[in-house]
Amino acid sequence: MLLLKAHDLETFEAFKKASRAAASQIKDNTHFCLYSEVQLPDASGKVHVLKPFLVVGSPVNVITPLLKDLKGTKKFLCSGVCSLEQNRISLVAHKGKLDHGLLKSRAPIFKDLFGKEILTSAAGNQDQHAGTDQKAAVQHEAVQHAKLTQAALHWDGAKKIVDTRINELVRAVKAHYAKASPELIKEIDRNMQKIDATLGKLDHRLTDSLKACAGASGPAREAELKKTKAIVEEFKRTVKSERMIAHVDQNPFGVKTNLQGSLLDSLNKAEQSIV
C-alpha cells in the first residue's frame, strides 16, 4: 500500500488519482482516516470542498501533518481500518465516531473519488455494529502487538548478526597481520575499538521502545510510538552517514559484512511496524 504524499494533495485531480490507486489496493485492516473538511483546487483553479475528507490507505499520523498548509476546517473525526465487501469500502472506526449518515449523504462524491461505493449502515443504528467494531478493534490490537514485538526481535537479531560478522572480520585481520609489528597490531586494535564505538550508537533504546509500544495502548502507545519513530530516524541517519560502517563493508579481507544493508533492512521493518 502506497502512503499518500504531499504532492497527492496539490490538486483535486492528484488526490482523486491517489485515492483510486489506494482503493484498488485495499485489503483487510487497511488504514483510513476522516476529517471534517479539506479544500483542494483543480487544474483550472476551481476549489473543491471535500466535506468530509476521507483518506484510505494511510494512517492518521501520516495524513495530519500533510494537511497543515491546506484550506478547510481539517478537524479530525475518526480513524480505523477498512476492507472490501462486495467491492464496496467498509469502514470500522477505532478512534472517534463514524457518522454513517454523513457518509451516505456524500455517497456520489466518494464513488467518484475512489471508484467504489462506501458501505454504510442506517444513521443511528451504529449500536447494532458495536460488537463487530469491538471485535475488529481487538483483532487490530493483536496484530499491532505482534508487529511491534516481531520488529523488536528482528532488531535484536540484526545486531547479533552484525556482531558475528565483526568478529569474523577481526579474526581475518589478525590472521592476515599475524607477523606484523607490535605497533601495527596496536593500531589494528584501535581501529576495532572505533568500530565498536560506532555500532555502540545503535544501542538498546530501539528494542526497549518497541517493546514498550507493544505493551501499551491508547494515548500511552501513541506517545511511545513518537519516541520509537525518533529513534528509528536517528539510527538510520547513523547507519547511512558513519564512514566506519561503509569502511567495514568495503574491507579487503574477504569477509562479506553487509552491515549497512542488514541494519537498514531491520530499521525499515521497525519503521513499518509503527505506521
- Residues 45, 157, single domain; the answer is no
In a domain, 182, yes or no: yes
The span from the CA of 207 to the CA of 158, in Å, is 11
Query: Are residue 146 and residue 37 in the same domain, yes or no?
Result: no
Residue 31 lies in a domain: yes
Domain assignment of residue 179, yes or no: yes
pTM score above 0.85 = no
Q: Is residue 20 part of a domain?
A: yes
Percent of the chain predicted with pLDDT > 90? 72
Q: What is the pLDDT of residues 6-21, one digit of tens each?
A: 999 999 999 999 999 9
**β 118-119/47-50 pair status:** unpaired
Q: Which of 153, 151, 148, 141 is nearest to 224 (CA)?
A: 148
Q: Which three cell numbers stand for residue 30?
A: 487497511
* pLDDT greater than 50 at residue 128: no
Whether 9 contacts 62, CB under 8 Å? no
- Residue pLDDT, tens place only, 27-84: 888 999 999 999 999 999 999 999 999 999 999 999 999 999 999 999 999 999 999 9
Of 124, 152, 167, which residue constitutes the final position of a domain?
Answer: 124
Q: Which of 210, 229, 16, 220 is nearest to 109 (CA)?
A: 16
Q: Do 267 and 186 belong together in one domain?
A: yes
Q: Does 195 fall in a domain?
A: yes
Quote the CA–CA distance of 178 and 157 in Å, as a whole number: 31
Strand partners, 55: 33
Instruction: Answer whether residue 164 is part of any domain.
Output: yes
Residue 52, helix vs strand vs coil: coil
Count of domains forming the chain: 2
Residues 35 and 114 in one domain: yes
d(CA 58, CA 4): 6
Domain extent, residue 147, equals 135-273
What does the alpha-carbon distance between residue 231 and residue 218 come to, in Å, rounded to a whole number?
20
109 lies in the same domain as 232: no
Based on the fold, state whether residues 31 and 119 are members of the same structural domain: yes
| Burial class of residue 3 (count of CB atoms within 10 Å of its CB; 0-12, 13-18, 19+) | middle
